[in-house]
Amino acid sequence: MALTMAALAAAFQALEQTRRRGEMVAVLGRLLASADMQEIARVVYLCQGRLRPPFEPLEFGLQATLMSRALAEATGCPLEEVQARYQRLGDLGTVAGELLPPVGAGLRVLEVYDRLYAIAALSGSGAQGGKVARLAELLRQLSALEGRYTLRIVQGQLRLGVGDATILDALAASAGDPGLRALLERCYNLGSDLGLAAQLLREQGAEGLRRFSVCPGRPVRPALAQRLTSPEEVLRRIGRCQVEPKYDGFRLQVHRLGDTVRLFSRSLEDVSGQFPEVAQAVPRQLQAREAILEGEAVGYLPETGEFLPFQVTSQRRRKHNIAAMQETIPLRLFVFDLLYADGEAYLECPLSVRREALERCLRATEGETLCLSPALVTADAARFQEFFDEMVAEGLEGVVAKRLDSPYTAGARSYNWIKLKRGYRAELADTVDCVLVGYLLGRGQRARFGIGSLLGAVYNPERDRFETVAKIGSGLSDEGWRRMKEALDAVAVPHRPARVESVLVPDVWCEPRYVVAVQADEITRSPQHTAGRDGSATGYALRFPRVVGWIREDKRPEDATTVGEILDLFRLRRHETTRPEPPLPVE
């Protein structure tokens, strides 16, 4: 029996009304189990508040004013009244819940999905007017509850408190086998598409998930590194290793399929049009006709070759005036890994094999856009330190050491890769990526901005929650505070988001969407923050935190620093042992 939009909306309401993750998994599991073969992928996307996976650039392109107009047309309520209610309630979905009738026309989920897709895909002359008309037509057939969540999806603010990790748990539960969770996560890590993982599970079962492999055009979720404080510690843990520079730029995944080249950011966004010199260099420099590469794009001064800081390189992330900015801030992509080439997947191969294959594939001559990232293979701490010092002298952040026999661990943070940055031995010189979950109103001079400090959180992947770690009151200019308030007000919510755990109550809560780099002097224990509390009275907090740069548009909230990393940094500062893992002998 086809799943109705009313049933989907009822499940969304149940999710919104609970903060217990176990209940969320149960509700989602029942919902997904009720979806048939045709519906399952689309239902998963709707649970994510989207229509397609994140690497497919399909957006509704409707501002709140146009959505208000559609709701006014659908209900016959004057536009001024709709806007006044929106101003008061802060959520168009709630406004729809007040204005639409209690019972709708009984539309199926597939029908609503297809009509939403048609609205998002509409383009060309008169597209906005057409989108408003089609949205109004759809809303006329929806109930108050259905309309609430439909408008939130269009607005990009579903607010269910459900992350990808919870959906993966629910998919396993829907199949009645929690043991499938690992296979589902593997499929998601290799294809970055939860809807596809759900479809494979439903159509082919566990065997289909096992067979799934990487292919150009679908980004692989990036492997991530742990931290240590010295070459000696690194070598004690992983032995003889490959040491590479750590660049402070944009991590890019390059996909080539014949003459088609696509570039993906670490947040899985298609950024092909933003870095044309990289896309143009791939057919010229890459021998493989089909390939997936990873590298770091860094701005440089053409006159000297000197690397530019991230705050300068980040100006290349834009949708307009790309050609002019390309001339002002040229880029080089330092390629450090090969995941796929001409029909062969390399993820399970040892790093040493991947490096050899990369060197065969890439024509990296001097002056070209694609460069092979330098690499030192060593078991000698003194040579390691010398290489580290050389990289820092060139203006880089430090180095990344990689275990020679390690596979590429897609979507995971492990000690196969270990980053070592300048300043680890003094104050907390490494930045922490915090998710902004609220702000407090300003006092004194800040009163004129309406914002005085930010509430920052880190991610707990085991619990799929954001736990607070800092109240941040410095690092932004006057104009920066104004822009930050504007950005956060666009995602403000009337109550604490379901995925946020906080003792502090800010004046304005925000959906966990934006990530900022935060510098701090150290990490301390604090009863005011929830990061790492685990049932105790005190969590962990950043001391004297300040924002560095601006919002990291290349990072998703789930890409923020994890609670585990905060605990490791706390131990590193006190020269304690990190979380146990059997060390390998130095060769």
Q: What is the DSSP string of 68-96?
A: HHHHHHHH---HHHHHHHHHHHS-HHHHH
397 and 307 fall within a common domain: yes
For residue 579, what pLDDT is reported? 44
Question: Please, are residues 374 and 358 in contact by the beta-carbon 8 Å criterion?
Answer: no
- Asked if residue 332 belongs to a domain, the reply is yes
**pLDDT range class, residue 87, cuts 50, 70, 90:** confident
| Residue 155 clears pLDDT 50, i.e. is over it | yes
Which residue numbers are catalytic? 246
Domain shared by 511 and 549, yes or no: yes
What is the Rg, in whole angstroms, of the alpha carbon atoms belonging to the chain?
A: 24
Residues 6 or more apart in contact with residue 25 via CB below 8 angstroms = 166, 169, 170, 173
Tokens of 215: 């292919």
Mean pLDDT of 417-427: 69
343 Cβ contact list (under 8 Å, min separation 6):
290
DSSP string, 27-54: HHHHHHHHS-TTTHHHHHHHHTTSSS-T
Residue 117 placed within a domain: no
What is the distance between the alpha carbons of residues 364 and 362, in angstroms, rounded to a whole number? 6
Q: Flag whether pLDDT at 285 surpasses 50.
A: yes
By C-alpha distance, which of 251, 419, 458, 256 is closest to 335?
Answer: 251
**Closest listed residue to residue 450, CA positions, set 496, 403, 494, 487:** 487
Q: In angstroms, rounded to a whole number, what is the distance separating the alpha carbons of residues 479 and 502?
A: 28
Residues 366, 442, single domain; the answer is no
Two tokens, residue 463: 């619990």
Which tokens sit at 177?
């086998």
Query: Which of 364, 391, 421 represents a domain boundary (last residue)?
Result: 421
**Tokens, residue 209:** 């998930």
Indicate the number of domains in the chain. 2
Q: Are residues 274 and 407 in the same domain?
A: yes
Q: What range defines the domain where residue 509 resides?
A: 432-573
Query: Tens of pLDDT along 45-73?
Result: 999 999 999 898 788 888 889 999 999 99
- As a dihedral over the C-alpha atoms of residue 297, residue 303, residue 305, residue 308, rounded to 10 degrees, the angle is -50
Nearest to 268 by CA among 56, 42, 515: 56
d(CA 520, CA 137): 52
Per-residue pLDDT band at 583 (split at 50, 70, 90): very low
Domain annotation covers residue 91 = no
320 occurs within a structural domain: yes
Q: Which of 421, 454, 469 is the last residue of a domain?
A: 421
- What is the end-to-end Cα distance of the chain in Å, rounded? 62
Whether 212 is covered by a domain: the verdict is no
Q: What is the pLDDT of residue 115?
A: 96
**Residue 192, both tokens:** 């970055």
> Are the C-beta atoms of 253 and 264 separated by less than 8 Å?
yes
> Which tokens go with 379?
């078991």
Nearest of 43, 47, 45 to residue 3 by alpha carbon: 43
The CATH number of residue 497's host domain is 2.40.50.140
Q: For 499-532, what is each residue's pLDDT tens digit? A: 899 989 999 999 999 999 888 878 888 888 999 8
pLDDT of residue 441: 84
Q: b or e along 241-274 (b: 16 or more beta carbons within 10 Å of the residue's beta carbon)?
A: bbbbbbbbbbbbbbbbeeeebbbbbbbbbbbbeb
Instruction: Answer yes or no: do 411 and 304 share one domain.
Output: yes
CA distances from residue 346 to 11, 357, 361, 412 in whole angstroms, order as listed: 41, 9, 13, 17
Same domain, 355 and 460: no
The answer to whether residues 399 and 373 touch, using CB atoms and an 8 Å cutoff, is no
User: Where is the domain boundary, 367, 392, 421?
Assistant: 421
CATH number at residue 382: 3.30.470.30
Instruction: Give the CA distances from residue 274 to residues 53, 221, 369, in Å, rounded to whole numbers and listed in that order.
Output: 20, 20, 15
Q: 469 with 515, same domain?
A: yes
Instruction: Please indicate, yes or no, whether residues 385 and 449 belong to a single structural domain of this protein.
Output: no
Contact yes or no for 50/43 (Cβ under 8 A) = no
Both 441 and 353 in one domain: the answer is: no
- What is the spatial distance between Cα 352 and Cα 402, in angstroms, rounded to a whole number? 10
Residue written as tokens 């566990």? 206
Contact 286, 363 (CB under 8 A): yes
**Looking at the structure, do residues 409 and 274 belong to the same domain, yes or no?**
yes
* Residue 446, pLDDT score: 63
388 and 445 in a single domain? The answer is: no
Residue pLDDT, tens place only, 71-83: 999 999 999 999 9
The CA-atom distances, in angstroms, between 370 and each of 333, 340, 367, 394 are 5, 17, 9, 19
Does the residue 34 lie in any domain?
Answer: no
218-248: pLDDT as tens digits: 999 999 998 888 899 999 999 999 999 999 8
Residue type, 57: P
Tell whether 283 and 331 lie within a shared domain.
yes
Q: Is residue 428 scored above 80 in pLDDT?
A: no
Per-residue model confidence (pLDDT) at position 318: 67
- The span from the CA of 376 to the CA of 387, in Å, is 8
More confident residue, 161 or 376: 376
